[in-house]
Structure 1
Amino acid sequence: MSSFQEVKRPRILFVAMHHSVHTARWIESLREFDFDLHLYAVDPTPAHANIRGVTLHVPTPMYPAPPKQELSRRQRVARLFRQAVANPNEAFRVIRAKVADTVARHSRSPSPPPSTEDKRVREVPFTGIDPMAMVRLGRSDESNEAIMALHGPDMLARVIAEVQPDLIHSLEFQHNAYLVLAARDLMHARSPSCSFPRWLATNWGSDIYHFGRDEAHARQIRRVCEAIDLYSCECRRDLALGRSFGYRGPELPVLANSGGIDVDAAQRLRDQAPPSQRKLIMVKGYDHFAGRAMVSLAVLERFADRLKDYEIVMFSVGARPRARALELKAAGVLNIRVIDIATHDEILECFGRARAYLAISISDGISTSVLEAMLMGAFPIQTNTSCCEEWFVQGETGFAVAPDDFEVICAQFERALTDDTLVDKAAIRNLEIIRSRLDQSVMTPAIRDFYRQALGVPLRRDGSETR
């Protein structure tokens, strides 16, 4: 393997969901800085189309694959069905990879398509299964030994040893921070005197707030918080939780995980009519450990008579809410459109035509969708189990509601649906809030200082770098 010793720029190795738009947007915010960026592929899924400006480390088998056999569509479907019966986890991985690839190919990027110069791919050869690599990482496909061995902690440890980063930055806990922790354990077991790189762990969404209540996860979260040098999160609530789990490092700036937004560009996608004249409601469709989109649908169904002239747009939709939404549409109860695949601009356009946004969950971080609703003038109604209260002027620019109080959720939705003055004034104030806290002109210097602190570069009082 080649050496990177001649590179003088600060070197950062990201361990993150390389197929996530959030990872792509965060890395995009670093493009103007003079960093040597690397990204470890944590599973076989193709990288997001907007991942640029990094060296992507993709673990690959050392031995050549047998030539592909050309099969008909019927034969491919039959083979996938047999695989699903024999190994459901592997079938799920194949389907997920195909869906991700389809999304990437059909997504429009506001920036030029990535070139070989923008995204350098390094294939990391794999020669066999290391028993020490077979550890639980909290991932859905952890029972697949081939994936675990190829993308697990043993391979990550090899990449860390080769790249020798100045900083490891893991984005999200349950998959990526756990993976870094396991790689760190392996490296220390093999060489107790080895020096592990400086490690920054970023909390995403429900990583601590929800999973910290589970005994097994709580143990892992505590181990991570005690091992890391730096911890970052997007709300004050989670900073306090990180401290409670054993983090003893310095306090980094609290920044939204979505990175900065070009506010002026987003406003060009926005309907210029005031929100009180809009006839669209945006609804988050999550239905999983935290998402409660079925509650949102029940709220909408209660107000069906008042929503006859409205279009309901659901995005990020789970199976149950999707089925129920289509039932309500077929029955003529609600005019619902379910978005399965859309570009980021298309979602922003929908927010820019929406009067209100409804999202019910039992756990979340700030939620990028809430920020996008505020940006585009849709009045946000979000459960108080997120960090939305750190951005709302409660009752004026948004409603933070309890997830288990259906009547209060209905009452607040009714007010957003009928109070024209409320939604119009909120849109003006929310745009000011987003511009002052999330515009690229604000976030870019904040992220610069964030990484200077993370890399241990001292700053003067005015924020400039000392030499």
Structure 2
Amino acid sequence: MKILMVSIFAPHFFNWTEQLRDSGHEVYWLDVFDSNTHVEKIDFAQQIIGWRYKKNFKGRYFIKNRAPKLNRIVNLLNERKLTDVLESKIKEIRPDVIHSFVIYLSGVPILPVIEKFPEVKWILSTWGSDLYYYREQPKYLEGIKKVLPKIDYLFTDCKRDQEIARENGFQGKFMGVFPGGGGFELEKLAESSKPHEERNIILIKGYQGKHGKCVEVLKAVSGLREEFTNYEIVVFGAAEEVFEFIDSSDLKHWNNLKCLEKLARQEVLELMGRSLLYIGNSSSDGMPNTLLEAIVMGAFPIQSNPGGATAELIEDGKNGVLIEDPTDVQELKNILKEAINGSQDLKAGVAYNFEYIRPMLDRGRVREQVLEKYKLIESEI
């Protein structure tokens, strides 16, 4: 089967697509924003990059940085349109299916082209806030409602989004819930996972802004200095606002707090493997990838639950704790205090995750299931 992937340049996408290596399918990828970068991880796929500019003339970057108005005019003349390039590639490749990743970046923009090729089946993968948040934004909802009725097959990273898709016009075949980036290589990762008794890190995801609510977690932490004295507190992937908050609060005097910027995925996994608790807090998400990483690496998860997505894996108080209001600092403070003072049986929660949740996230197992879904699609073409 010829599969034309349409996606932004994203690790989630590369990890998903890598599952198709040696699958017998002929895979193509159109980079919707054209990073013009060949990705070795999916080197088996034919990568459509370097398409945006008709001419990469000398002085283009100088104009872009020094003369933005002139740059806009030049781009109007020099840039190719995504829709034109996609239409040309469909005619050239003649794919059996087109697989879009993230509806508002790789689905809505290409709808006019898709409608010209009704014989080509359309697959959509959603993850994160793709449906949950953007359905509440009128500008985005309009596009979502136009795209979903055209989708033949749908993958999501949580059950919640299947329901949202149905409510907004999806009438095709639901292919199931899978981690957005595929599964995890559990045997390799086991080497980086410390025994529960040797863990002393409280790990906090540092996202802040439209959805991330790390500052609220830090406000709660700042009121528990005595309880956290014997732990190392690590904030990773910290946004600028997080650094600013720490600098303006008493936390800047805490010798056991470390704030880090963006880390490579392997570094995050290794941190998870040394952490006692993992705290992720946001107002919108799908099934958080960092939650899955915490489960796989043996950290007890404390995670926000927008729209009930997290509750699909976490039973509150058993194998993790659900944050129902990501903006309620007092709730966060109570949750953290109970986790630290022994009210939560962290070891039992982690043991449950290792026995019942972790095996479902094995990359080999997930890949086998995903390939079965593609095989089913192929049989229906």
TM-score (norm 1): 0.74
Q: Which of 202, 211, 222 is the equivalent residue of 1:290?
A: 211
Cα distance, 1:334 vs structure 2: 5.7
Cα distance, 1:292 vs structure 2: 1.2
- Alignment partners' CA distance in 2, 1:407 and 1:434: 30
Residue 96 of structure 2 corresponds to residue 174 of structure 1:
no
Q: Which of 121, 139, 158 is the equivalent residue of 2:88?
A: 158
CA contact (8 A) 2:154 2:176 kept: no
Once the two structures are superposed, residues 173-231 of structure 1 have per-residue CA deviations (whole angstroms, 9 ceiling, x without a partner) of 1211112214325xx3xxxxx53511001111111111101112111111110111112
Cα distance, 1:306 vs structure 2: 2.2
The corresponding residue for 1:61 is 53
Residues 323 and 49 of structure 1, relative CA distance in 2, 3 Å threshold = farther
- Alignment partners' CA distance in 1, 2:183 and 2:146: 31
- Alignment partners' CA distance in 1, 2:261 and 2:278: 18
- Alignment partners' CA distance in 1, 2:102 and 2:165: 13
The corresponding residue for 1:224 is 147
Output the amino acid matched with 2:320.
G
SS in structure 2 of the partner of residue 417 of structure 1: helix
Cα distance, 1:68 vs structure 2: 9.2
- Alignment partners' CA distance in 1, 2:43 and 2:267: 21
Residue 366 of structure 2 corresponds to residue 436 of structure 1:
no
SS in structure 2 of the partner of residue 243 of structure 1: helix
Cα distance, 1:89 vs structure 2: 10
Structure with bigger RCO (C-alpha 8 Å, 6+ apart): 2
Cα distance, 1:151 vs structure 2: 5.2
The corresponding residue for 2:26 is 36
Output the amino acid matched with 2:42.
I
Residue 150 of structure 2 corresponds to residue 183 of structure 1:
no
SS in structure 2 of the partner of residue 161 of structure 1: helix
Q: Which of 311, 331, 345 is the equivalent residue of 2:232?
A: 311
Identity level (%) = 24
CA contact (8 A) 2:317 2:344 kept: no
Cα distance, 1:432 vs structure 2: 2.0
Residues 256 and 215 of structure 1, relative CA distance in 2, 3 Å threshold = same
The corresponding residue for 1:381 is 302
Cα distance, 1:39 vs structure 2: 0.6
Aligned counterparts, 1:236-247, within 5 A = 236-247=159-170
Output the amino acid matched with 1:82.
R
- Alignment partners' CA distance in 1, 2:358 and 2:249: 38
Output the amino acid matched with 2:155.
S
CA contact (8 A) 1:12 1:168 kept: yes
SS in structure 2 of the partner of residue 226 of structure 1: helix
- Alignment partners' CA distance in 2, 1:335 and 1:197: 56
The corresponding residue for 1:393 is 315
Structure 1 unmatched runs, 5+: 1-9, 70-75, 91-128, 130-143, 189-193, 459-467
The corresponding residue for 1:13 is 4
CA contact (8 A) 2:338 2:344 kept: no
Cα distance, 1:407 vs structure 2: 2.1
- Alignment partners' CA distance in 2, 1:428 and 1:68: 56
- Alignment partners' CA distance in 2, 1:32 and 1:329: 54
- Alignment partners' CA distance in 1, 2:76 and 2:187: 48
- Alignment partners' CA distance in 1, 2:22 and 2:343: 42
CA contact (8 A) 2:6 2:29 kept: yes
Cα distance, 1:48 vs structure 2: 4.9
The corresponding residue for 2:269 is 348
Once the two structures are superposed, residues 291-345 of structure 1 have per-residue CA deviations (whole angstroms, 9 ceiling, x without a partner) of 1111111122121232233222222322201322355587313633333243222
Structure 2 unmatched runs, 5+: none
- Alignment partners' CA distance in 2, 1:48 and 1:317: 26
- Alignment partners' CA distance in 2, 1:409 and 1:356: 14
Q: How many residues align?
A: 377
The corresponding residue for 2:348 is 425
SS in structure 2 of the partner of residue 24 of structure 1: helix
Residues 43 and 432 of structure 1, relative CA distance in 2, 3 Å threshold = same
CA contact (8 A) 1:40 1:56 kept: yes
